[in-house]
Amino acid sequence: SLAHLPPLDQRVCSLVFHVRFGRIGRLVTRIAFLTGKVDIVAINDPFIDVDYMVYMFTYDSTHGRFKGEVRSEGGKLIINNHAIMVFSEKDPSNIKWADTGVEYVVESTGVFTTVEKASAHLKGGAKRVIISAPSADAPMFVMGVNQNVYDRSMNVVSNASCTTNCLAPLAKVIHDNFGIIEGLMSTVHAITATQKTVDGPSGKLWRDGRGASQNIIPASTGAAKAVGKVIPELNGKLTGMAFRVPTPNVSVVDLTVRLEKRAKYESIKKVVKAAAEGPLRGILGYTEEQLVSTDFNGDSHSSYFDASAGIALSDNFVKLVTWYDNEYGYSSRVVDLMVYMYSRE
């Protein structure tokens, strides 16, 4: 439930991005200004200057032009007359966060994803670090699923992945009501920056390097297994894979599960709808309309259940379909996790 969150117009904490004002960094900044939940104090990106930040923040091919005023002045990024300090350090330990008033760091590089590496921010005076990616050893949280186990001893945490944020709320609802014996997940996932525009070498599987706009590419994902970290009773019961497809944004999860308790598909729909309108409101959406991927572009839910797309083979074996804006929905949860952590200070 999000009932614990402060009013949207209440600024509750200060944050900064480290290294790369990238897709997640820019969208979290947009969401911060749209909701007023957090105060952006500083941004660190060693690869682009402040004038380029103005351009990249103002114009977005996927989410449209920022509806506000953006400019640079005196080496600072000015958004809606709010001045943001800009740093260009490659080593996060060189930044004196204590001197800036920063309390929370959003580590959105995709590089400093372990507790040890992300803790470099703490040395400079930051209080907390939220890694906007899965982590091998940091406590992992999915809002609406396991945020209640957070405690103040956790200085470095992970917001998991966009796909885990989509899958986990639905898996929780299904498991709590019907029990999941085992399941397989496929995510049909939009293009991301890690892919190649044309065929090129890949550091992992060879086919990962094939042209993203030309191919449907089977790929690995740890998103389903990660659900076992945020819902321990599902540990070892879920696994999955991805298909990278030539669309710019919005992805969809196909979750096929065997249930402990027999249930008609209509009963499953009712349970998911009740959760979407109740304890998971704002996290899990529900629709019976005949929608397609672009209808979810810019949607802030973690997961949006498509009641008309799922099917059942029997009362114990069902395929469930849920959409997610893998950029905007995930970035919204980064902000919400930060607000929740701050409320526990």
Active site residues: 162
Q: Residue 110 annotated as binding? A: no
Q: Residue 162 annotated as binding? A: yes
Q: Residue 45 annotated as binding? A: yes
CA count, 13 A, side-chain hemisphere, 12: 19
User: What tokens were used for 40?
Assistant: 């952006």
Nearest 5°: CA angle at 132, between 186 and 81?
A: 130
In what helix (H) or strand (E) does residue 104 lie, and over which residues does it extend? strand 104-107
Q: Residue 217 annotated as binding? A: no
Q: Residue 132 annotated as binding? A: yes
Q: Which residues have C-beta within 8 Å of that of residue 28, sequence separation ≥ 6?
A: 17, 106, 108, 132, 331, 334, 335
Task: In whole angstroms, give the CA distance from residue 97 to residue 107.
Answer: 13
Q: Residue 326 annotated as binding? A: yes
- Contact (Cβ atoms closer than 8 angstroms) between residue 324 and residue 295: no
Q: Residue 78 annotated as binding? A: no
Tell me which residue of 55, 57, 52 sits closest to 40, measured CA to CA: 57
Q: Residue 24 annotated as binding? A: yes
Task: In whole angstroms, give the CA distance from residue 172 to residue 156.
Answer: 24
DSSP letters spanning 292-308: -GGGGTT---SEEEETT
Phi-psi region of 114 (alpha: psi -120 to 50; beta: other; left: phi over 0): beta
Q: Which residues are annotated as a binding site?
A: 23-24, 45, 132, 161-163, 192, 221-222, 244, 326
Cite the annotated binding site for D-glyceraldehyde 3-phosphate by residue number: 161-163, 192, 221-222, 244
Q: Which residues are annotated as a binding site for NAD(+)?
A: 23-24, 45, 132, 326
